[in-house]
Amino acid sequence: MVDKFAKDILKQTQTKNIIVALLLLTVLGCTGYMIVRATTASATSYKVVAYYFHGAIRCQACLEIEAVSRQTVEQEFTKAIAEKRLAWRSVDYDEAGNEHFVEEYELSCPSLVIVEMRDGKRSEWKILRRTWELLRNKNDLRKYVHNEVKTYLGKGR
């Protein structure tokens, strides 16, 4: 009788240990999943947008600045674009609904603006004012755009 009682207690203890171990594994698995998900979410919540803002009437210099800047972004940052960490947008601020950009980004003329987005909201931005002076030397303009975009992309790491 004592032997059977001891076996029953041993069996119950083993069952409890198995249940506790399974619960512990479940908690650890959920915790690990939440950590991975939080890390992934924070990595994808950072994005850089290179905007070229222009009016409806465009001069040759405006078109060249846009073309060189766009080409630089699209050719030199293919990985960041593929990962959706970088996007190029060309926006006509004279178009209905886009007027707010002039005030938001303090635009006085067509401009390349690098915008940092965190959690879907603009957190920081910079007008690349030197594009006009560097247009005379397209290599210098490319380097300038490349370095500024690279700087902003580096902030999200």
Residue 142 has pLDDT above 60, yes or no: yes
Examine the domain organization and report whether 60 and 132 are in the same domain.
yes
Examine the domain organization and report whether 18 and 95 are in the same domain.
no
- Average model confidence (pLDDT) across the chain: 84
Examine the domain organization and report whether 40 and 56 are in the same domain.
no
User: What pLDDT is attached to residue 36?
Assistant: 46
Examine the domain organization and report whether 123 and 85 are in the same domain.
yes
Average pLDDT over residues 123-141: 96
Examine the domain organization and report whether 9 and 78 are in the same domain.
no
Examine the domain organization and report whether 11 and 25 are in the same domain.
yes
Tell me the torsion sign for CA atoms 94, 153, 79, 130.
positive
Examine the domain organization and report whether 35 and 67 are in the same domain.
no
Q: How far is CA 29 from CA 20, 40, 50, 141, in A?
A: 14, 16, 39, 50
CB 62 within 8 A of CB 107: no
Identify which has the larger pLDDT, 74 or 155. 74
Give the count of domains, the chain: 2
Two tokens at 21?
């171990």
CB 148 within 8 A of CB 114: yes
Taking only the tens place, the pLDDT of each residue in 10-59 is 566 666 656 544 444 554 554 555 544 444 444 458 999 999 999 999 99
User: What pLDDT is attached to residue 22?
Assistant: 46
Tell me the torsion sign for CA atoms 44, 72, 76, 142.
negative
User: What pLDDT is attached to residue 141?
Assistant: 98
Average pLDDT over residues 124-145: 97
Among 53, 55, 57, smallest CA distance to 94 is for: 55
Among 105, 114, 113, 119, smallest CA distance to 151 is for: 114
Sheet holding 111-118, edge to edge: 86-92, 46-54, 111-118, 121-127
Examine the domain organization and report whether 88 and 23 are in the same domain.
no
Among 72, 93, 74, smallest CA distance to 82 is for: 74
Examine the domain organization and report whether 15 and 65 are in the same domain.
no
Examine the domain organization and report whether 105 and 58 are in the same domain.
yes
User: What pLDDT is attached to residue 5?
Assistant: 57
User: What pLDDT is attached to residue 156?
Assistant: 77
Taking only the tens place, the pLDDT of each residue in 87-122 is 999 999 999 999 999 999 999 999 999 999 999 999
CATH number at residue 120: 3.40.30.10
Two tokens at 39?
């890390």
Taking only the tens place, the pLDDT of each residue in 46-87 is 999 999 999 999 999 999 999 999 999 999 999 999 999 999
Examine the domain organization and report whether 105 and 117 are in the same domain.
yes
In terms of residue numbers, what domain contains 11? Answer: 1-44
Examine the domain organization and report whether 65 and 136 are in the same domain.
yes
